[in-house]
């Protein structure tokens, strides 16, 4: 019998309640087994926390590209001064933006007058793609490029826009594009990280580590910061008094103790990821320093990248290291141009000519060399190269006599080249002034979906169960831009 003040829970007897609760647990176990065997669909099956998280996995889709090199122009390059020619700006120079163009002007800065491109555009290659004189070397590779001129994003502020371009959302805590790529495909080289990030020596992007974080998926898939000079990581080498054999014994003992801890507390991921990071660091001691050792390169190759020359030395080294990394099976490499804030990045508020003149001169020759080098080595077909920033810039100045431009999330340009991309093409359009995307608009989720597709991942099937739902990079949004596929 039950006490009158303690009725049956949910109008059930105790035995009924316990029986139904037990049936629910059995159902959860059955659902898990059915999911692993893909009874519910075609979702990918990824390794358990205790398995090697970087073990290579098959592509979900047939694709040529195996690796990605993302050339991130931190600060927001101007589309109307680089890859989106707008002759109408010359015709209406000095006039205000037409009425009806509503927008949020980032930072409350002054709104000036329509301003033409600061440098001429010229056709490149057989395709005749119009590319600015800010990028004369890249223009020589016009027939390799698929320029997307209708990109748009969700924020006009650097911090949130950078996080969005890297993770798909404007708030921190989500896995980055590189993390999703390595989570989906693993890595072909078990002695190197699957995802490497090389920052500008002037500093990292606003927002910092969340831009290459693994978010809520295991930390084994987070980006690893590399340096292109000296040891790629601090404290990579062990202490001088301990050789590799002694380190191996130490790691084996630590792994045994940690495994006993995990066996008593199954399901944990953080400790498993830490164990894997120890093992990876041990294996990296031999291979990682060689990856950044440019003494193995010929003088001709170093000169092609601009290594040892001003102002191309740093980004030339970074691009050359990126080639050496994908050559060694690293899945995703991201190179930042511009560090810190304002004029140290592509954030050209004061002067497009001065700012873009400096930063484009630093990267134009190295990027062109990277495309040449990848092609000569037979790596371009298996490497997707992506260029872009977190947003673009306005077609008008910041005030009378002010030669800078403010942030523009409404319409900007990016390009892709290499594995699976149709070169010599332009996709989408902004309006006559280069202000907003109007034809074949490409949201950042479309960009992400296309990148994943080109490396053999379906953005709708690449999911991770988190807090009660299957999370994805594009969050049930995004479309593959098939017009740029070869």
Q: Is 61 among the domain residues?
A: no
| pLDDT computed for residue 20 by the predictor | 62
CA angle 480, 130, 351 (to 5 degrees): 100
| pLDDT computed for residue 100 by the predictor | 83
Distance CA 298, CA 328 (A): 18
Whether residue 330 contacts residue 196, with contact meaning beta carbons closer than 8 Å, is answered with yes
| pLDDT computed for residue 427 by the predictor | 98
Q: Is 215 among the domain residues?
A: yes
Q: Is 209 among the domain residues?
A: yes
User: What is the CATH classification number for the domain harbouring 314?
Assistant: 3.40.720.10
- Specify whether 212 is located in the same domain as 268: no
Q: In which domain, by residue range, is 3 found?
A: 1-41
Q: Is 401 among the domain residues?
A: yes
| pLDDT computed for residue 225 by the predictor | 95
A 10 A CB-CB count for 30 gives 11
- Specify whether 185 is located in the same domain as 246: no
| pLDDT computed for residue 40 by the predictor | 43
| pLDDT computed for residue 231 by the predictor | 74
| Sequence-distant (≥ 6) Cβ neighbours of residue 356 within 8 angstroms | 77, 78, 81, 82, 118, 134, 346, 348
| pLDDT computed for residue 236 by the predictor | 60
- Specify whether 1 is located in the same domain as 126: no
Q: Is 248 among the domain residues?
A: yes
pTM (2 decimals)? 0.85
Q: Is 50 among the domain residues?
A: no
Distance CA 333, CA 226 (A): 10
- Specify whether 297 is located in the same domain as 280: no
- Specify whether 36 is located in the same domain as 151: no
Q: Which parts of the chain have pLDDT scores under 70?
A: 1-51, 233-242, 244, 246-252, 266-269, 272-284, 286
| pLDDT computed for residue 37 by the predictor | 46
- Calculate helix-pair angle for 270-291, 244-264, nearest 10 degrees: 160
- Specify whether 329 is located in the same domain as 302: yes
- Specify whether 364 is located in the same domain as 222: yes
**Closest to 320 in 3D by CA, of 372, 270, 242:** 372
Q: Is 320 among the domain residues?
A: yes
Distance CA 30, CA 23 (A): 10
| pLDDT computed for residue 434 by the predictor | 97
**Closest to 332 in 3D by CA, of 478, 193, 474:** 193
**Closest to 74 in 3D by CA, of 165, 181, 135:** 165
**Closest to 66 in 3D by CA, of 381, 391, 416, 375:** 381
| pLDDT computed for residue 340 by the predictor | 84
- Specify whether 436 is located in the same domain as 303: yes
- Specify whether 278 is located in the same domain as 301: no
| pLDDT computed for residue 38 by the predictor | 43
Whether residue 427 contacts residue 148, with contact meaning beta carbons closer than 8 Å, is answered with yes
- Specify whether 80 is located in the same domain as 205: yes
Number of structural domains found in the chain: 3
| pLDDT computed for residue 104 by the predictor | 87
3-state secondary structure 364-423: HHHHHHHHHHHHHCCCCCCEEEEEECCCEECCECCCCCCCCCCEECCCEEEEEEECCECC
Q: Residues, the chain, total?
A: 486
Whether residue 322 contacts residue 370, with contact meaning beta carbons closer than 8 Å, is answered with yes
| Sequence-distant (≥ 6) Cβ neighbours of residue 231 within 8 angstroms | 237, 288, 289
Distance CA 386, CA 447 (A): 10
Whether residue 46 contacts residue 183, with contact meaning beta carbons closer than 8 Å, is answered with yes
User: Do the bridges between strand 463-466 and strand 469-472 make them parallel or antiparallel, or are there none, so unpaired?
Assistant: antiparallel
- Specify whether 96 is located in the same domain as 22: no
- Specify whether 18 is located in the same domain as 136: no
Q: Is 53 among the domain residues?
A: no
A 10 A CB-CB count for 372 gives 18
Both tokens of 158, joined, read 């650097």
């Amino acid at each position: 019998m039950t006490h009158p003040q303690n009725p049956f829970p949910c109008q059930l007897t105790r035995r009924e309640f316990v029986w139904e609760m037990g049936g629910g647990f059995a159902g959860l176990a059955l659902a898990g087994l059915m999911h692993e065997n893909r009874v519910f669909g075609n979702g990918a099956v990824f390794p358990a926390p205790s398995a090697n998280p970087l073990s290579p996995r098959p592509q979900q889709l047939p694709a040529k590209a195996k690796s990605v090199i993302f050339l991130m122009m931190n600060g927001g390059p101007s589309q109307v001064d680089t890859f989106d020619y707008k002759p109408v700006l010359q015709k209406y120079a000095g006039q205000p933006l037409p009425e009806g163009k509503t927008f949020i002007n980032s930072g409350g800065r002054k709104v000036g007058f329509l301003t033409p491109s600061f440098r001429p555009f010229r056709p490149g290659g057989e395709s005749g793609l119009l590319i600015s004189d800010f990028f004369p070397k890249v223009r020589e590779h016009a027939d390799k490029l698929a320029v997307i001129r209708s990109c748009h994003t969700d924020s006009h502020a650097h911090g949130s826009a950078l996080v969005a371009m890297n993770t798909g959302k404007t708030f921190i805590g989500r896995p980055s594009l590189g993390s999703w790529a390595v989570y989906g495909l693993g890595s072909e080289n078990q002695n190197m990280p699957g995802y490497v990030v090389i920052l500008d020596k002037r500093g990292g992007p606003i927002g910092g580590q969340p831009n290459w974080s693994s978010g809520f998926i295991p930390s084994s898939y987070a980006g690893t910061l590399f340096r292109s000079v000296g040891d790629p990581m601090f404290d990579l080498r062990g202490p001088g008094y301990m050789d590799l054999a002694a380190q191996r014994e130490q790691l084996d003992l630590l792994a045994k103790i940690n495994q006993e801890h995990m066996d008593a507390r199954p399901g944990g991921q953080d400790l498993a990821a830490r164990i894997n990071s120890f093992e990876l660091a041990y294996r990296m001691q031999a291979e990682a320093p060689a990856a950044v050792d440019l003494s193995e390169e010929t003088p001709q190759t170093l000169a092609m990248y601009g290594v040892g020359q001003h102002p191309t030395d740093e980004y030339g080294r970074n691009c050359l290291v990126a080639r050496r990394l994908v050559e060694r099976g690293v899945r995703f490499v991201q190179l930042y141009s511009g560090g810190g804030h304002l004029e140290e990045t592509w954030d050209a508020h004061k002067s497009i000519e001065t700012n873009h003149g400096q930063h484009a001169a630093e990267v134009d020759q190295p990027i062109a060399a990277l495309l040449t080098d990848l092609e000569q080595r037979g790596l371009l077909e298996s490497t997707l190269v992506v260029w872009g920033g977190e947003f673009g810039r306005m077609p008008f100045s910041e005030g009378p006599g002010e030669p800078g431009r403010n942030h523009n999330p409404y319409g900007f340009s990016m390009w892709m080249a290499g594995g699976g991309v149709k070169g010599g093409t332009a996709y989408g359009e902004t309006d006559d002034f280069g202000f907003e995307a109007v034809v074949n608009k490409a949201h950042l989720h479309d960009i992400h979906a296309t990148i994943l597709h080109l490396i053999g991942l379906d953005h709708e099937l690449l999911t991770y169960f988190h807090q009660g739902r299957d999370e994805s990079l594009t969050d049930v949004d995004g479309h593959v831009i098939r017009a740029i596929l070869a």
